[in-house]
Amino acid sequence: MKIVVVGGTGLIGSKLVAKLGEHGHEAVAASPNTGVNTLTGEGLAEVLTGASVVIDVSNSPSFEAAAVLEFFETSTRNLLAAEKAAGVGHHVALSVVGTERMPENGYFRAKIAQEQLIEKSGIPFSLVHATQFFEFTRSIAGEATDDGKVRIAHVLFQPIAGDDVAQTLGRISVGSPLNGRVEVAGPEQFRMDDFFRDALAAWGDPREVVTDPHARYFGSELSERSLVPGDDAILGQTRYRDWPGRTAPKK
């Protein structure tokens, strides 16, 4: 089966291409690095020729609200139009757990707009909502740092390894379209402030983690369950304490 992975040279995309290839599929990485640009349409018709499935794990180069909305709307419209022309039978897209709970967040609004375009396209689809990746814990801590202190709310947090996200995406992509959403998360729930205290200690990072109920997560104030999935989520296998990058030096 030919499966085109849009954003296939990125963190999740590269893992996905490798895993699909190991299972005998023709997995093709589509990104500006490989001559495919979903914003301009360059290379789309060619890469989608003969494709049965498209998995979109691409991301906006800018998280500014207007720019990220423009990226996801333009990219998704171009991609869906090319898929219709090519006869693609399954569109899979990666999104984020909790998008609908934080409408004031510009990135989440853009992801909702992307999903609405997919739902209305007429192409059979599957939407995979993932929690935060282990690989992004350093950037989350950086965003939460104010005056040398990491300010984090005491809310539930259930991050997941990128490898587990890729595995779930691959499995869903070769199955029947869900025509709906599924959530995927790590196997353990933590309190977010406690998680980051332990994480920074493992990194040898001297910053103090301060529990702040009003701390903002990329601009949004969090409630107890803003970032965690429902009870029927697919759970990854990798525990954070067993993840190889947990104590890896900062690159």
Percent of the chain topping pLDDT 70? 98
**pTM for this one?**
0.94
What is d(CA 93, CA 185) in angstroms, rounded to the nearest whole number?
A: 16
What is d(CA 222, CA 180) in angstroms, rounded to the nearest whole number?
A: 25
pLDDT reading at 107 higher than 60 = yes
In CATH terms, 2-247 corresponds, of 3.40.50.2020, 3.40.50.720, 3.40.250.10, 3.40.50.1110, to 3.40.50.720
Question: What's the pLDDT tens digit per position in 141-175?
Answer: 999 999 999 999 999 999 999 999 999 999 999 99
Q: What is the pLDDT of residue 102?
A: 86
Tell me what the mean pLDDT of segment 220-249 comes to: 92
pLDDT reading at 250 higher than 70 = no
Domain residue ranges in the chain: 2-247
- The mean pLDDT of the chain is 95
Tell me the three state secondary structure of residue 235.
strand
Q: Backbone dihedral region of 203: left (phi > 0), alpha (psi from -120 to 50 degrees) or beta?
A: alpha
Q: What is the pLDDT of residue 249?
A: 57
Number of Cβ atoms within 10 Å of the Cβ of 124: 15
Question: What's the pLDDT tens digit per position in 187-230?
Answer: 999 999 999 999 999 999 999 999 999 999 988 899 999 999 99
Q: What is the pLDDT of residue 96?
A: 96
Name the β-bridge partners of 55. Answer: 5, 92
pLDDT reading at 33 higher than 90 = yes
What is d(CA 195, CA 150) in angstroms, rounded to the nearest whole number?
A: 12
Please indicate whether residue 103 or residue 113 has the higher confidence score (pLDDT). Answer: 113
